[in-house]
């Protein structure tokens, strides 16, 4: 009995002795971009390449739910492609996303269905597609306008 009490006292002292009186703040490492594909935005009318992009792919439940959350920067030639199993009405929001984005919704064949320009960081307002889409492509805010993207233009990747 005496050994059990002694063990409990020592364990309690060890645990409380390890605790810093000040609250330690946790920091996370910057999430780095991982190029998994090369993508091409193509003008429907001319078949000319508008822009070549390095693409990170979100195709697991975790990656789709996390997306670009918690990232603090993104280059103009980078994009995240969200891959869903089938065409459906899609809707995104910007919770915990610190970068302003353009969200481009794509049909199964890569044709642009619709896009949302200048999605505000940290905003939880739903940003729906204008029709069924199987993919969503996120790029830095303002680039859809700069590149002159239109509904009907195409995105392909390899």
Average pLDDT over residues 106-124: 97
Alpha-carbon distances, residue 16 vs 6, 8, 11 (angstroms):
15, 12, 9
Listed in sequence order, the DSSP H helices in 39-138 are 61-66
Q: Which residues neighbour 155 within 8 Å (Cβ) at sequence distance 6 or greater? A: 39, 40, 41, 42, 104, 106, 110, 112, 135, 137
Average pLDDT over residues 75-97: 96
Average pLDDT over residues 129-154: 98
In the structure, what pLDDT confidence band is assigned to residue 33 with cuts at 50, 70 and 90?
Answer: confident
For residue 100, pLDDT over 50 is answered with yes
List, in order of start, the domains of the chain with CATH numbers. 37-157 (2.60.120.1140)
**Nearest in space to 152 (alpha carbons), one of 36, 73, 50:** 50
Q: What is the pLDDT of residues 42-63, one digit of tens each?
A: 999 999 999 999 999 999 999 9
d(CA 139, CA 118): 10
Whether 90 and 114 have beta carbons less than 8 Å apart is answered as no
pTM: 0.81
d(CA 52, CA 50): 7
């Amino acid at each position: 009995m005496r050994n059990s009490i002694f063990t409990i006292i020592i364990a309690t002292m060890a645990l409380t002795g390890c605790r810093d009186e000040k609250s330690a703040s946790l920091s996370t490492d910057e999430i780095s971009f991982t190029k998994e594909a090369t993508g091409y935005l193509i003008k429907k009318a001319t078949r000319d390449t508008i822009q070549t992009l390095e693409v990170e792919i979100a195709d697991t439940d975790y990656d789709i739910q996390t997306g670009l959350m918690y990232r603090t920067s993104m280059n103009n030639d980078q994009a995240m492609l969200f891959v869903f199993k089938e065409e459906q009405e899609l809707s995104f929001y910007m919770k915990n996303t610190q970068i302003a984005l353009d969200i481009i919704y794509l049909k199964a064949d890569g044709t642009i269905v619709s896009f949302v320009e200048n999605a505000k960081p940290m905003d939880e307002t739903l940003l729906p597609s204008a029709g069924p889409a199987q993919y969503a492509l996120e790029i830095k805010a303002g680039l859809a306008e700069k590149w002159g993207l239109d509904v009907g233009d195409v995105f392909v990747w390899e």
